Structure 1
């Protein structure tokens, strides 16, 4: 008698579980911008969600502990003059977040542990270098203060946010860039593009070092991420519009290591990868499910594990860094699912009964300390992430300010005649008067924003009353 052999894996029985109602975040008006972003970013301290707002772009930042219904007066982060398209938390400072927008800029924000009551409208750095909307923002995994942006001008810029300088600019893409992903030590990044090519780029050499035409035959958007071993995991569509995933070796792009068809849904599959477990979670926009796979060196290389399903479709998804999971419950991943008006945490757990720390589930993971300074990385040095143990859980460090050398920012900007004359005039003013004027401007901004919110609320109430009146009139 032949007996089927079951593949041995400690992650074979991982199951997903949505948090209880009181553990979610309600009354969040998620942005309706048609952009294939996750609209959500999370770290061990905060949850950030891109939201609808009048008069520009805004996003919401909530402490993770502030669950339940959102306070109507909770301040937003406002500063962009166009809709916000992407946000990303700094891996080396839990209080620093980067955003990018249709207004052609990227901004870096210092989020205080206590949010207060006023909107945050002054970024610590404004990065201006793109000529069209900026749709992608992502931090370097190991070097301090290095940030990458990609815009609809088909340009990729790498910045030192500590000085506001553009360090590297690459224009190798002839069409819209769909996504950018760094490898583990930040020596390379991969991109997918509307021209259907998958590229591996060396930013310090300013060149494309590997390229594959049409890793997926379909013309719809692709996504690509680096795995821990340096391979590329991709999601895309077949010629018949079936969703598909692939695993590739960038040193020999001719044939895939693995290629697997999934289903015929329309939503772009967003991959979230955990290098500690070598697992990838696939979340389709508009889907109501999350599929997860384990990548190994044994055929078929990408092993399907299971699917977490719920009733409502997802608008976006946030993925918690490993240092933010609950090790006492054998939680190996946590995702934050965006609905139309709420956000729901989903815990991925290995079913084990022991209360002891599980060494095999939690190898040392990437910590919050950078391995390199910006100058070291720019000179050609590479380091893997600085690791830390999760044996005693993770305690977020206290808020640290991002030091910005503002002189460099001013030096790199071209000075117009108008700005020179205004600077000359303000130079003659007493410093106390300048400070007072700046404070008054800030107060005026806050007042305008609060009045805008009040008007929006009154309009909503009025429209509800009108709808109710017309309903009663029809009954009459």
Structure 2
């Protein structure tokens, strides 16, 4: 990965630094489920980690400020009857989190700023429409209340969680879906699948608009994410089981823009992308290193920058939204590395001597306000994220109470808390408790 010519880039000297021992989170029993999700989700308020639990699935939510040893009485979020496989914070409300599980459901939770001492066991809404375990949950980047789930029934469902409705259902995948990633304005998403195809899908047309067979020759799982300019960044394996990354233009899928072999480790590489800097951080499960690259318009297009290494392997990783980094320390990214029993923050910083706000490092970034209502997105509108300046740092807003309209119980037959329903992509699914809510 050596270069004969020194390339000019302000990110050439980005370095990673693990937090001090007292800045970590200890005594966390990280889940041992063998599923290739990150097991961790973080936002400017909270750290959430999928944990081992008896009698079903659970995850832990800690205020970021609650560092040190975990209180044995700290409440868990419990409600799933099977292991939790994936979690994702809502980009438009720091107190809302979605989870999905082997119990075939996805759930949406309101996390209070003050956790109290009792477990949180009542979700705001239960989303039922999958017939097998649900392994992926991801929020729409710009539209309020839009959530995508993907299950082992090879089905992708897009929900309006404010009403509990399944808006769109797509069954274009003949095999297990490895990952799903929205593009910047949420008009498209890409998927990788066990059938070795990389697909670009238009959910409102309910069709695959581009696909590439075997962007990586190996049969091991792939990952794909959209970059800021609409290209696709992929990680996978060669035929000889070497790990590999690729950059693709989905409008001309025949040849890659870039293809780079890395090493022979066998952990799936999870990519975390920062659209503000056009940098991508690669974290392999079981690796003890984080490699980072810059994507540019000049050859070789994907430039290796550096590697952060530590002694212990990672079980999973969380990636802080840009609005949660510390601009006073020139921190451009923060990752949360899961070990077997703890979680440690890793700050990525650009060394600068000045104490002034560094405009070139911090362009306006995606804020927490949605750009669209669910109905507008469903009707075909697209909007880029609403941006905000980080000049004065970011202060998370206080928890907003959800405006909940109770359903008239006379409108439908009585249902249990987890009533089952088939999903054809348009049905109004019975959901638990209270709905709809609109202040998310």
| TM tier, smaller | over 0.9
Contact 1:329–1:349 (CA under 8 A) maintained in structure 2: yes
Counterparts in 2 of 1:409 and 1:166: CA distance versus 1, 3 Å: farther
Counterparts in 2 of 1:475 and 1:87: CA distance versus 1, 3 Å: closer
Alignment length (residue pairs): 437
C-alpha deviations, 1:59-87, integer Å up to 9, x for none? 00000000000000000000000000000
Q: What is the alpha-carbon distance in structure 1 between the residues aligned to residue 234 and residue 351 of structure 2?
A: 29
Note the C-alpha offset of 1:261.
0.1
Q: What is the alpha-carbon distance in structure 1 between the residues aligned to residue 423 and residue 323 of structure 2?
A: 46
Name the structure with the higher helix share: 1
Do structure 1's residue 36 and structure 2's residue 36 form an aligned pair? yes
Contact 2:400–2:439 (CA under 8 A) maintained in structure 1: no
Counterparts in 2 of 1:87 and 1:418: CA distance versus 1, 3 Å: closer
Note the C-alpha offset of 1:475.
65
Contact 2:404–2:435 (CA under 8 A) maintained in structure 1: no
The two structures, once aligned, show a CA RMSD in angstroms of 9.1
Contact 1:91–1:368 (CA under 8 A) maintained in structure 2: yes
Counterparts in 2 of 1:289 and 1:471: CA distance versus 1, 3 Å: farther
Contact 2:403–2:437 (CA under 8 A) maintained in structure 1: no
Larger relative contact order (C-alpha < 8 A, sep ≥ 6)? 2
Q: What is the alpha-carbon distance in structure 2 between the residues aligned to residue 69 and residue 82 of structure 1?
A: 27
C-alpha deviations, 1:15-62, integer Å up to 9, x for none? 000000000000000000000010000000000000000000000000
Contact 1:165–1:409 (CA under 8 A) maintained in structure 2: no
Compute the TM-score of the two structures, normalised by the length of structure 2: 0.93
Contact 1:138–1:147 (CA under 8 A) maintained in structure 2: yes
Contact 1:46–1:61 (CA under 8 A) maintained in structure 2: yes
Counterparts in 2 of 1:80 and 1:26: CA distance versus 1, 3 Å: same
Partner of 2:50: 50
Structure 2 gap ranges (5+): none
Contact 2:405–2:435 (CA under 8 A) maintained in structure 1: no
Structure 1 gap ranges (5+): 430-468
Counterparts in 2 of 1:342 and 1:231: CA distance versus 1, 3 Å: same
Note the C-alpha offset of 1:408.
9.2
Contact 2:164–2:436 (CA under 8 A) maintained in structure 1: no
Note the C-alpha offset of 1:419.
8.7
Counterparts in 2 of 1:414 and 1:315: CA distance versus 1, 3 Å: same
Note the C-alpha offset of 1:140.
0.1
Note the C-alpha offset of 1:6.
1.1
Q: What is the alpha-carbon distance in structure 2 between the residues aligned to residue 232 and residue 277 of structure 1?
A: 16
Partner of 1:471: 435
Note the C-alpha offset of 1:401.
2.8
Counterparts in 2 of 1:340 and 1:474: CA distance versus 1, 3 Å: farther
Counterparts in 2 of 1:174 and 1:360: CA distance versus 1, 3 Å: same
Counterparts in 2 of 1:363 and 1:120: CA distance versus 1, 3 Å: same
